[in-house]
Structure 1
Amino acid sequence: MKKVLGVFVFLALIAQLAFGMCSINPTQILKTLADMCWNCIFPINIAGIPVIKGSMSDSPTAIRSPICTCPFPPPLFIRIGIPVGYFEPSRSIDVNKDAFCFAGLGINFSGLSSTQKGTKGDANTKDKTRTFFNAHYYIYPVFQLVGMFVDSMCVRSTKGFDIAYMTEIDPLWNDDALGALINPEALLFGNPITNMACIADSVASQANRPLDPLFWCKGSWGNAYPLTGSTNTKNYVEDSASVASSLVYKLHRQLVLWNSASKSALCGEHPLPIWLKSAYRLQLLFPKAHPTAMGIGQTGLIWTSNKNLPAGGDNFNYLLFKKVDCCAF
């Protein structure tokens, strides 16, 4: 592990000297473990009882049954277990203005491309109402990296660290019309009536309780569609969180990210093209860490103050907490 981290730091230093287009922290991959909100793992439910309560409310999909059953092995036999639920810090998302700027890894390869730069909705751009970011999605199994609970069957992310997705090479990410190929239902939800329904989701998201039935809403962050790097310009830090959540939904639609919450996932993860917003929490870690996570859609007035430091260069990194419900025995 030390050798791998050493290579990351070395590459970061070389890249900074060679290009220097984005400003990142070469030790960010280690700093993430120090700044992570460990309390955001809670609440932990065992047999339907919240044994450890946290500062954030649980997902409405929490299992309230004392026992569970799973095929073992299917189809003739079953096993009986105890439902366990918690939020696992297992993914990381970069949201970057500079293409190939890996803020979460502390590596700067932005000089490899002079195109695909993000845009900010201001007087210097053609569209003053839209902001665009690229994004990177990492498998970041915190528990495995620090050696915690590695033998537990309820730790779903045990495949090691990996860069799992980069939008710079995805033609659907920077074109709203082309992106509609994987979300044609956007035509049904981009109207004033459905947007009015998002008011209820916006209110609920302030208490970190986004409404899963309103899957086309991102609370105070606007409409979930299109599933691209574009978002309505509001607060620039809040815009980055909006794009991070769009990537989560997009990866669900592309079956890259699987559902691990609710009764349907007790015996294992499964594809789910419509996301469960309440199953995710985001914690801003770069350029300046926020002490806690927030649910999808919480207004930036609560958590974005003094977060977009000049040193970050409009590039951000979020730790993604993913709700896990499993049948342990």
Structure 2
Amino acid sequence: MTASRKLLAAALAIVSLALSTPASAGGEPGKCTGSFVNPITDICWSCLFPISIGALDIWPSSRPDPDNPDVPLCLCGIRPGIAMGFWEPVRLADVSMKPWCFVNLGGTKIDPGFDIGFRSISGPSAIGGASQYYSSWHVHWYAYPLIYWMEIVADFLCLEPGSIDILYISE
């Protein structure tokens, strides 16, 4: 009985290998692939610097820092706050060759329900065949107020509030 089980297992393994197809890094043609932005590993956290409060440099950097008011206290509407200077990541862009494919939303493909979006920006391509000299690209622009979501800054009343939102679609 053990010999027949081994033979059956070997036969199943051979059939499985024969019928399987190799995985490709780019995914199947026409398939929308992507991943959500990981706020820990995919964000340039060093790009937030320099950080300043009023005219005082808290964390200097080689990047430019627009001048803050000399007095660190300010008003945001009628709310009192602290005049802080730092670079806030609030926008996100993705580019895809497939229309209505949102790479930063985990490779979500949206069906708009109407025939639009199949014209695109064209340029030179390394792909051979009939489309050798042209490539098509679609751009998506998102609101992504990460610092506000994570409440990293204590005085977040004057940060750009909101949730993720698709601001522009080039299709």
TM-score, shorter chain, exceeding 0.5 = yes
8 A contact 2:72–2:82 mirrored in 1: yes
Asked whether 1:34 is paired with 2:38, we answer no
Q: Quote the Cα distance in structure 1 between the aligned partners of 2:74 and 2:120.
A: 49
Deviation at 1:102, TM superposition (A): 0.8
* Alignment match of 1:146 (pick from 129, 143, 150): 150
The equivalent residue for 2:100 is: 100
Q: Quote the Cα distance in structure 2 between the aligned partners of 1:20 and 1:122.
A: 16
Identity of aligned residues (%): 23
Structure number with greater CO (CA < 8 Å, separation at least 6) is: 1
8 A contact 2:148–2:156 mirrored in 1: no
Residue-by-residue CA offset, 1:13-52 (whole Å, 9 max, x unaligned): xxxx9x8625523xx2243542211111111111112111
The equivalent residue for 2:4 is: none
Larger helix proportion, structure 1 or 2? 1
Q: Give the 3 Å change call, closer, same or farther, for CA 85–141 of structure 1 in structure 2.
A: same
Q: Quote the Cα distance in structure 2 between the aligned partners of 1:22 and 1:43.
A: 41
Deviation at 1:85, TM superposition (A): 0.7
Asked whether 1:119 is paired with 2:122, we answer yes
Q: Give the 3 Å change call, closer, same or farther, for CA 136–43 of structure 1 in structure 2.
A: same
The equivalent residue for 1:62 is: 67
Query: Which amino acid counterpart does residue 142 of structure 2 have in structure 1?
Result: Y
Q: Quote the Cα distance in structure 1 between the aligned partners of 2:138 and 2:86.
A: 30
Q: Quote the Cα distance in structure 2 between the aligned partners of 1:80 and 1:110.
A: 43
The equivalent residue for 1:166 is: 169
Q: Quote the Cα distance in structure 1 between the aligned partners of 2:82 and 2:150.
A: 26
The equivalent residue for 2:33 is: 24
* Alignment match of 1:53 (pick from 60, 65, 68): 60
Q: Quote the Cα distance in structure 2 between the aligned partners of 1:109 and 1:71.
A: 39
Q: Quote the Cα distance in structure 1 between the aligned partners of 2:158 and 2:67.
A: 15
8 A contact 2:82–2:155 mirrored in 1: no
TM-score normalised by structure 2 residue count:
0.61
Unaligned 5+ residue runs, structure 1?
1-16, 74-78, 169-329
Q: Quote the Cα distance in structure 1 between the aligned partners of 2:74 and 2:121.
A: 48
The equivalent residue for 2:159 is: 155
The equivalent residue for 1:90 is: 90
8 A contact 1:21–1:110 mirrored in 2: no
8 A contact 1:143–1:150 mirrored in 2: no
* Alignment match of 1:43 (pick from 50, 58, 65): 50
Query: Which amino acid counterpart does residue 125 of structure 1 have in structure 2?
Result: Y
TM-score normalised by structure 1 residue count:
0.35
Q: Quote the Cα distance in structure 2 between the aligned partners of 1:92 and 1:154.
A: 20
Q: 1:62 aligns to what SS in structure 2?
A: coil
Unaligned 5+ residue runs, structure 2?
1-26, 127-131
CA RMSD of aligned residues (A): 3.5
Count of residues paired in the alignment: 137
Q: Once structures 1 and 2 are overlaid, which stretch shifts more, 108-117 or 145-154?
A: 108-117
Q: How does 1:270-285 map to 2 (within 5 A)?
A: none
Q: 1:115 aligns to what SS in structure 2?
A: coil
Q: Quote the Cα distance in structure 2 between the aligned partners of 1:134 and 1:122.
A: 15
Q: How does 1:130-145 map to 2 (within 5 A)?
A: 133-145=137-149
Query: Which amino acid counterpart does residue 138 of structure 2 have in structure 1?
Result: N
Q: Quote the Cα distance in structure 2 between the aligned partners of 1:40 and 1:53.
A: 11
8 A contact 2:50–2:60 mirrored in 1: yes
Q: Quote the Cα distance in structure 1 between the aligned partners of 2:58 and 2:111.
A: 49
Q: 1:153 aligns to what SS in structure 2?
A: helix
